């Protein structure tokens, strides 16, 4: 039936009417006699007519497209969120243009620029530095509705949906302390690149301080293979009383479990490990990984809903962060602290600790 692309003009010609009429029929926007209506419909069907959305966008001044900017898709957390965005958008007749910035601010800015050039109706994004982002500035300037995900901007002017990283990390700390882990460490990759890691570290360490336990070490590692093992080895040299690790994400947590094994430590008998994010594999590996499961999919979904309802006239984006619920998921990587750790408690803080890079600047 259909061959190449046909336009509204072709349909009009075949139906023997004007293009205005075709538009009215196909959009049900305006009066049409039932008779012409049928002729138009028949003609459209015969030609396999589909609207050219580019022409439509130009005229309507809205593209029915949502721009998405995430750091990467390798991290399942973002992949899930994007999936949520895509589904929700698609359910409302919107398409998604996907861009990735690889944690690079310059790239973020460029990506937003091209999204704007494509006339996206709104943007869902995660940026490196939500409180000082050229990309966000661009969106503001052009008055394009946008909603952050994962990020928790401090200036609460901006729409955002995420989880309360502070509270979640605090909960992890509580769970650990309840099990007798008074000496813990926080392990992060690219700590400087991620405002989320920072929030988690603060929530984690503040809980420990409140309980008057030693503040957890902050261990920052590269993705370089072997780096993690060395870092952990050093940790145990300096703080042999450490009984628990809290990793800033699940992949890293898995890496920790593996590195600990390599160092001759048993998980969870010698050391417990807790991750963050709640990716699917956490339940598939052995030991299963204790983690905080976060609703990544829903985050994307929710942000998209907000955006779309803001598109309806008189709709406005809520200002401020919406926090979605998280859930602590225990797992085999988490056990009670060994009794000897009771000794560790209250031990004078070793002087070597000062060599460990505490990030006081992030403390609220």
Which one of DNA, a second copy, none is in contact with 21 (Cβ closer than 5 to 8 A by kind)? DNA
Nearer residue to a second copy within complex by CB, 205 or 301? 301
Min dist. Cβ of residue 323 to a second copy (A)? 24
Q: Which of 9, 45, 106, 118 is close enough to bind a second copy by CB under 8 A?
A: 118
- DSSP class of residue 280 equals G
| 229 contacts a second copy (rule: CB under 8 A) | no
Residues 7 to 66: which contact DNA by CB under 7 A? 7-9, 16-21, 23-24, 26-27, 29-33, 35-37, 50-52, 54-56, 58-61
Is residue 306 within 8 Å of residue 161, measured between CB atoms? yes
Which one of DNA, a second copy, none is in contact with 190 (Cβ closer than 5 to 8 A by kind)? none
How many chain residues interact with a second copy (CB under 8 A)? 55
Min dist. Cβ of residue 64 to a second copy (A)? 9
Report cis status (omega within 30 of 0) of the bond before 287. yes
Question: Residue 123 in 3-state DSSP?
Answer: strand
Instruction: Report the C-alpha dihedral over residues 279, 284, 288, 292, rounded to 10 degrees.
Output: 20
Half-sphere exposure of 352 (CA within 13 A, CB side): 7
Min dist. Cβ of residue 16 to DNA (A)? 6
Min dist. Cβ of residue 259 to a second copy (A)? 10
> Taking the CB of residue 258, how many other CB atoms lie within 10 A of it?
14
Residues 6+ apart with CB under 8 A from 345: 182, 183, 213
Nearer residue to a second copy within complex by CB, 177 or 260? 260
Min dist. Cβ of residue 138 to a second copy (A)? 9
Report cis status (omega within 30 of 0) of the bond before 268. yes
Phi-psi region of 346 (alpha: psi -120 to 50; beta: other; left: phi over 0): left
Residues 6+ apart with CB under 8 A from 271: 242, 243, 244, 245, 260, 265
The residue ranges that bind a second copy (CB under 8 A) are 2-5, 48, 50-55, 57-58, 63, 65, 68, 72-74, 76, 79-80, 82-83, 86-87, 90, 95-100, 111, 113-114, 116-119, 141-143, 251, 254-255, 257-258, 261, 280-281, 284-286, 288
């Amino acid at each position: 039936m259909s061959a190449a692309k046909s336009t509204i003009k072709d349909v009009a010609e075949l139906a023997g009417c004007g293009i205005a009429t075709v538009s009215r029929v196909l959009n049900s926007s305006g009066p049409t006699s039932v008779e012409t209506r049928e002729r138009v419909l028949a003609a459209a069907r015969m030609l396999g007519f589909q609207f050219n959305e580019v022409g439509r966008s130009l005229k309507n001044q809205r593209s029915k497209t949502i721009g998405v900017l995430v750091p990467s898709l390798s991290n399942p957390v973002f992949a899930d969120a994007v999936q949520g965005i895509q589904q929700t958008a698609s359910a409302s007749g919107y398409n998604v243009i996907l861009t990735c910035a690889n944690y690079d601010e310059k790239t973020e800015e460029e990506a937003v620029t091209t999204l704007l050039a494509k006339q996206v109706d709104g943007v869902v994004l995660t940026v490196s530095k939500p409180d000082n982002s050229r990309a966000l500035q661009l969106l503001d300037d052009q008055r394009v509705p946008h909603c952050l995900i994962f990020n928790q901007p401090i200036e609460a002017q901006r729409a955002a949906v995420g989880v309360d990283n502070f509270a979640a990390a605090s909960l992890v700390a509580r769970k650990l302390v309840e099990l007798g882990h008074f000496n813990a460490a926080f392990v992060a990759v690219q700590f400087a690149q991620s405002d989320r890691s920072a929030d988690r570290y603060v929530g984690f360490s503040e809980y420990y301080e409140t309980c008057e336990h030693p503040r957890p070490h902050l261990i920052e590692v590269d993705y370089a293979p072997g780096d993690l093992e060395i870092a952990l080895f050093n940790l145990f040299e300096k703080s042999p009383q450490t009984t628990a690790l809290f990793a800033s994400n699940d992949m890293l947590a898995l890496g920790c479990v593996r590195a600990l094994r390599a160092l001759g430590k048993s998980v969870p008998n010698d050391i417990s490990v807790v991750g963050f994010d709640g990716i699917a594999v956490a339940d598939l590996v052995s030991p299963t990984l204790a983690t905080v499961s976060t609703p990544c999919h829903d985050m994307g979904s929710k942000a998209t809903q907000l955006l779309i309802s803001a598109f309806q006239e008189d709709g406005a984006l809520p200002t401020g962060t919406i926090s979605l619920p998280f859930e602590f998921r225990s797992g085999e990587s988490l056990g009670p602290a060994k009794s000897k750790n009771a000794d560790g408690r209250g031990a004078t803080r070793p002087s070597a600790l000062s060599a460990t890079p505490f990030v006081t600047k992030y403390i609220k």
